[in-house]
Structure 1
Amino acid sequence: MPSGEAVCLEEMVWPEVKSAIENGTRTAIVAVGSIEQHGPHLPLNMDTLDGDELARRIATELGDAVAAPTIRPGCSGHHMEFPGTITVPPETLMDVIRSYCRSLDKHDFKHIVLVPTHGGNFGPVKTVVPDIARELDATVIALANLDEHMQLLNEGLSEAGIEYNQDVIHAGAAETAMVLAIDEGLVRTENIESGPEGEISAARLLSEGFKTITENGVLGDPTKATTDAGEVIIQNVVETYVEHIKIERDAV
């Protein structure tokens, strides 16, 4: 896609999409986000903001891709004790992903890249991809390694000079930094509170709910976040994912 052209699919008109596909834009980036609590200081659409930003930057970096609208809501049942959270069953999310991929395949996108940005979505994404791959002509690439995603966020903090590591990341230093970098006006800095730190059972969070571990919905210390760190984190994820996509596309 030529420099300066729109990369966000929903902002384009259909003749622009048709022209882009005919001129070699054959990759669509689909983030899979959520609407769920992120403590008293981050907006409910944090994972969707993250997905929008990652998809846009990845598409721009590739140069021959578009960023499809981020899928939301996601599988957030473990956050439902916090008002405002909206959740769907895994089967519903997988059906929506199928429909997205079928639509993009119908319009001759050759590669569809799924980028989950909420922990509860990684499993459904990995589960549904083999079925979709058997059905469509397009290649479906799932960047759904949750451990790698968490590692990239922690590495971004470290590269920004913040030595703070969390095995389970939610509304703490990394995610707060990312929202600061995307739109700092969305962070209620006056409401920032820390949450439990140290070793936390992800299995318990999923099975028993966040409220059993954190009263305010936060894990870790968001006060360590900075705007600069958020920019480093986002770019770290983008660069890594772009390399993954290039390898997967070249292998086809």
Structure 2
Amino acid sequence: MPSRESVCLEEMVWPEVESAIEDGSRTAIVAVGSIEQHGPHLPLNMDTLDGDEISRRIATELGDALAAPTIRPGCSGHHMEFPGTITVPPETLMNVIRTYCRSLDEHGFEYIVLIPTHGGNFGPVKTVAPDIARELNATVIPLADLDEHMNLLNEGLSDAGIEYDQDVIHAGAAETAMVMAIDQDLVRAEAIESGPEGDISPARLLSEGFESITENGVLGDPTQATAEAGEVIIKNVVETYVDQIKTERDAV
């Protein structure tokens, strides 16, 4: 059998997966993304692109992990005023995550890392992870601190020399930069436009929907974004999460 080159589960054939697990790749990285509007300039699968890239890089950095396909859609009801958005109820997402993890556990993965990349998914992941952990043999590691995730994105901008941050990040400088770094062609540069800034209430966004605050679905100024900054942001997230995963595995 040829040597396995990809760390992405969906790109492998089953004998390669079996061999990888037998050879010690017993950590599965599971991003939890979405299909939702990201302004007039970013694709609906932004959070899924982000999840794919981050999970692949984390698996590569760990060296003994595989990146499972990103779960989507997610809990995006607050974006439903914008066409194309697809949402599921929190209980549906939690059931999908639960059964997803059961499959990975049954195949012999000893650690399952859950990484939400969409704000509406952090709560469901944090809620369901302890229940899953009690049910499975595998250790479940949820990296579901939304404030930390936002801070990592803002810190990445700062490290790239862009002094700009937002308390609530959506389709602005950070996410636009990340898509630029992943696939520049997916950004509709001619359609980039800014959205509201300043004191934005997350509670209002969730209860009344994004359209109550932003007509174009954007928060902040995506014109600040660069592909170079996106690369720094992604590296910042990956390095932080790799360290946390190693710490959690060592503690078991």
Q: Taking structure 2 as the reference length, what is the TM-score of the superposition?
A: 0.98
Maintained 8 Å contact 2:4/2:16: no
Per the alignment, residue 36 of structure 1 pairs with: 36
- CA deviations 1:198-251 (Å, max 9, x no partner) are 111001100110000000000000000000000000000000000000000000
CA distance in 2: counterparts of 1:145 and 1:17, whole angstroms: 30
CA distance in 1: counterparts of 2:84 and 2:4, whole angstroms: 37
- CA deviations 1:113-137 (Å, max 9, x no partner) are 0000000000000000111011000
CA distance in 2: counterparts of 1:172 and 1:37, whole angstroms: 12
CA RMSD of aligned residues (A): 0.8
Secondary structure at the aligned position of 2:197 is classed as coil
Secondary structure at the aligned position of 1:37 is classed as coil
- CA deviations 1:121-178 (Å, max 9, x no partner) are 0000000011101100000000000000000000000000000010000000000000
Maintained 8 Å contact 2:29/2:67: yes
Per the alignment, residue 195 of structure 1 pairs with: 195
Structure 1 position 178 matched with structure 2 position 178: yes
Per the alignment, residue 106 of structure 2 pairs with: 106
Maintained 8 Å contact 2:105/2:138: yes
Displacement, 1:5?
2.4
**Post-superposition, which runs of at least 4 consecutive aligned residues in structure 1 deviate over 3 A?**
none
1:118-137 alignment runs, 5 A limit: 118-137=118-137
Displacement, 1:4?
6.7
Per the alignment, residue 218 of structure 2 pairs with: 218
Consecutive unaligned residues in structure 2, runs of 5 or more? none
Structure 1 position 55 matched with structure 2 position 67: no
Consecutive unaligned residues in structure 1, runs of 5 or more? none
Per the alignment, residue 250 of structure 1 pairs with: 250
CA distance in 2: counterparts of 1:49 and 1:5, whole angstroms: 20
Secondary structure at the aligned position of 2:176 is classed as helix
CA distance in 1: counterparts of 2:105 and 2:140, whole angstroms: 10
Per the alignment, residue 46 of structure 2 pairs with: 46
CA distance in 2: counterparts of 1:202 and 1:127, whole angstroms: 19
CA distance in 2: counterparts of 1:221 and 1:94, whole angstroms: 33
Maintained 8 Å contact 2:76/2:120: yes
Q: Report the AA paired with residue 146 of structure 2.
A: L
CA distance in 1: counterparts of 2:4 and 2:93, whole angstroms: 33
Displacement, 1:6?
1.3
CA distance in 1: counterparts of 2:4 and 2:109, whole angstroms: 21
CA distance in 1: counterparts of 2:196 and 2:188, whole angstroms: 20
Identical-pair percentage: 85
